[in-house]
């Protein structure tokens, strides 16, 4: 877990990256976050400074490991953010914190992921494909530069991480539980080929708190395609979270 400490913080923001990436995708965030927000970017096994570790192939070890790391951070309201695969990790962490620590998060912000109760049918699953076809599917998503995909040495390190992350996402099993009570914001790309509006809108069933669904220009990686608008929306939600603590 990488943190940007802030003694004046009133809210802690915990961020999960999308598949195949690490905490560094959030390295610019402290420069535009509200001053009352302290950010923790989750570094998953198998990438960046944890590249020697074996990546997990199921979500629960990640959730349990993250919860243990956050235990001393539960003194302030939590906002969880997750992008694509990270959305499921953030969602499951919110449930785990409620069950294990009797802690309800203040807000859940999820992006670029269908609602957890939606079963995605792929035959075969992407993570089971041979290397060539698997990387073709990764390339179609548009989140990884061709220069990296064509670098055989680099891909020898990244491929196990990508496969593990896709396996987590594709083998995810939804569990019926009482809905969360936090406010929830869901973000989607208007041209995202992986999901429909209705599939994303069903996130609303997962909380009794205030719900907001926003559609941004761009595809699956609108986080980068419409960066200014994206950051403005995140800032707005975080400001709301800070005001709720006053």
Please give the positions annotated as active site. 84
The answer to whether the CB of 172 falls within 8 A of the CB of 119 is no
Which ranges in 185-226 belong to alpha helices (H)? 197-201, 222-225
Q: In which residue are the tokens 């992006």 written?
A: 111
159 vs 29: CA distance, rounded Å:
27
117 vs 222: CA distance, rounded Å:
23
Q: 197 CB contacts (<8 Å, ≥6 apart)?
A: 188, 215
Residue of 222, 162, 230 whose CA lies nearest to 194: 222
The answer to whether the CB of 83 falls within 8 A of the CB of 223 is yes
DSSP code for 144: S
């Amino acid at each position: 877990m990488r943190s940007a400490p802030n003694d004046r913080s009133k809210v802690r923001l915990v961020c999960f990256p999308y598949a195949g990436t690490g905490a560094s995708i959030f390295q610019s965030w402290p420069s535009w976050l509200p001053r009352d927000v302290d950010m923790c970017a989750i570094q998953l096994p198998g990438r960046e400074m944890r590249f020697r570790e074996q990546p997990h192939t199921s979500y629960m070890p990640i959730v349990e490991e993250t919860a243990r790391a956050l235990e001393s951070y539960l003194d302030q309201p939590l906002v969880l953010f997750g992008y694509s695969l990270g959305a499921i990790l953030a969602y499951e962490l919110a449930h785990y914190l409620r069950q294990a620590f009797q802690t309800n998060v203040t807000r859940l912000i999820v992006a670029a992921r269908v609602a957890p109760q939606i079963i995605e049918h792929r035959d075969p699953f992407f993570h089971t494909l041979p290397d060539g076809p698997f990387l073709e599917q990764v390339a179609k998503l548009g989140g990884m530069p061709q220069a990296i995909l064509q670098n055989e040495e680099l891909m020898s390190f990244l491929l196990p991480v990508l496969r593990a992350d896709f396996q987590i996402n594709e083998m995810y099993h939804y569990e019926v539980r009482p809905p969360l009570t936090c406010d929830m914001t869901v973000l989607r790309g208007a041209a995202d080929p992986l999901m429909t509006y209705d599939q994303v809108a069903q996130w609303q069933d997962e909380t009794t708190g205030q719900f907001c669904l926003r559609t941004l220009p761009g595809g699956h990686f609108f986080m980068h395609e419409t960066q200014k608008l994206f950051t403005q929306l995140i800032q707005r939600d975080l400001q709301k979270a800070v005001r709720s603590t006053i």
